[in-house]
């Protein structure tokens, strides 16, 4: 593609223009406010409160930053699943549950959040109890370290919005691989804003399917067996798109620019 048609090439230049960053910041504030108001929840993040608790200085377990709703919806649209009702969606580092509330609109069988910090877990539970305008679905929030989580023997979508450093990610992936060795099944790993993507890239049991716009999507693969699920034509009801992209090795270095 010619460089001038590639938005990743000119977006940084536009962001540097006077006033543009302020407009972007304001639109994020409005988007956040509207999400909470519309769903009757509190998924906001106050960095000053987090500083008192010392979370931003933790270089292993990152602090809370809720995902932008438009980014969450975009990545969910890109998941090439045929029947979402067969899959459990797990958010590693689920915070106050915003990603789970958005995923609830996409027809997953079950939704599970894993959150290290009790204050955030408690707020997620309150949000699940009181939310409006969310399709009924089974929510669960577990207050625990993701490194200790055992993946259930189900078809899974595992979501990571930059929750922790590579030492925790390595433990999570080791547990996932052991679980796939015991019981091979269709598992999709979604890394949003991935600082530890290199660990997933090096995992032979995961094959990169999509790499763009700040996220990477992998699918479980086995040398002896392929998962039976394949991408299907899109249907408006399940938010899927029939645009599965199997990336070549060169695409592994794809830009993460939003
Ligand atoms: C960037 S926020 C993501 C929030 C949420 N996933 C969303 O999309 O709105 C990262 C979250 O990971 C949590 N976290 C950090 N280390 C963790 C760990 N070892 N186990 C579980 N959660 C962790 C943080 O407390 C924080 O809530």
Structural domain range at position 23: 3-34
Domain co-membership, 25 together with 77: no
Return the residue whose CA atom lies nearest to atom 22 of ligand 1: 93
Instruction: Answer yes or no: are the C-beta atoms of 216 and 78 closer than 8 Å.
Output: no
Looking at the structure, tell me whether residues 51 and 30 fall in a common domain. Answer: no
Rounded to the nearest angstrom, the distance between the alpha carbon of 101 and the centre of ligand 1 is: 15
Q: What's the 65 CA to ligand 1 centre distance in angstroms?
A: 8
Output the pTM of the full model.
0.83
Count the Cβ atoms, other than its own, within 10 Å of residue 1: 6
Tens digits of residue pLDDT in 83-94: 999 999 999 999
Total domains, the chain: 2
The CATH number assigned to the domain holding 171 equals: 3.40.50.150
**Beta strand segments in 138-248, E:** 138-143, 155-161, 187-192, 206-212, 215-220
- Clarify whether residues 103 and 186 are in a common domain: yes
Measured by CA distance, the residue closest to atom 13 of ligand 1 is 93
- 227 and 162 in a single domain? The answer is yes
> In this structure, are 24 and 47 located in the same domain?
no
pLDDT tens for 235-244 read 322 322 223 3
Least confident of 65-74, 91-100, 249-258: 249-258
The Cα 168–Cα 92 span in angstroms is: 11
- Measured between alpha carbons, how far apart are the two ends of the chain, in Å? 17
**pLDDT per residue as tens digits for the range 185-223:** 999 999 998 789 999 999 999 999 999 878 999 999 986
Q: How many residues does the chain have?
A: 258
| The predicted structure's pLDDT at residue 250 | 30
Which atom of ligand 1 approaches the CA of 193 most closely?
A: 1
Q: Give the residue, out of 93, 149, 166, 175, with the most ligand 1 atoms within 8 A of its beta carbon, to mutate for a pocket test.
A: 93
Cα 58 to ligand 1 centre (Å): 12
Cα 127 to middle of ligand 1, angstroms: 16
């Amino acid at each position: 593609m010619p460089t001038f048609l590639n938005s990743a090439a000119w977006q940084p230049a536009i962001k540097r223009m006077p006033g543009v960053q302020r407009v972007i910041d304001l639109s994020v504030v409005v988007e956040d406010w509207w999400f909470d108001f519309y769903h009757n929840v509190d998924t906001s993040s106050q960095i000053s409160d987090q500083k008192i608790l010392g979370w931003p200085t933790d270089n292993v377990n990152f602090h809370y930053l809720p995902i932008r709703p438009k980014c969450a919806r975009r990545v969910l649209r890109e998941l090439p699943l045929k029947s979402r009702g067969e899959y459990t969606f797990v958010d590693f580092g689920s915070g106050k549950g915003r990603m789970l509330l958005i995923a609830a609109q996409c027809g997953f069988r079950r939704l599970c959040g894993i959150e290290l910090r009790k204050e955030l877990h408690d707020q997620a539970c309150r949000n699940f109890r009181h939310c409006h305008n969310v399709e009924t679905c089974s929510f669960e929030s577990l207050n625990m370290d993701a490194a200790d989580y055992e993946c259930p023997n189900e078809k899974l979508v595992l979501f990571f919005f930059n929750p922790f450093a590579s030492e925790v990610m390595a433990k999570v992936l080791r547990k996932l691989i052991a679980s796939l060795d015991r019981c091979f099944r269709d598992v999709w790993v979604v890394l949003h804003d991935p600082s530890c993507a290199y660990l997933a890239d090096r995992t032979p049991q995961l094959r990169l399917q999509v790499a763009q716009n700040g996220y990477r999507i992998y699918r479980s693969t086995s040398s002896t067996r392929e998962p039976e699920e394949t991408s299907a034509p899109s249907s408006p009801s399940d938010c899927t798109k029939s645009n599965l992209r199997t990336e070549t090795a060169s695409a592994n270095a794809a830009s993460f620019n939003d």
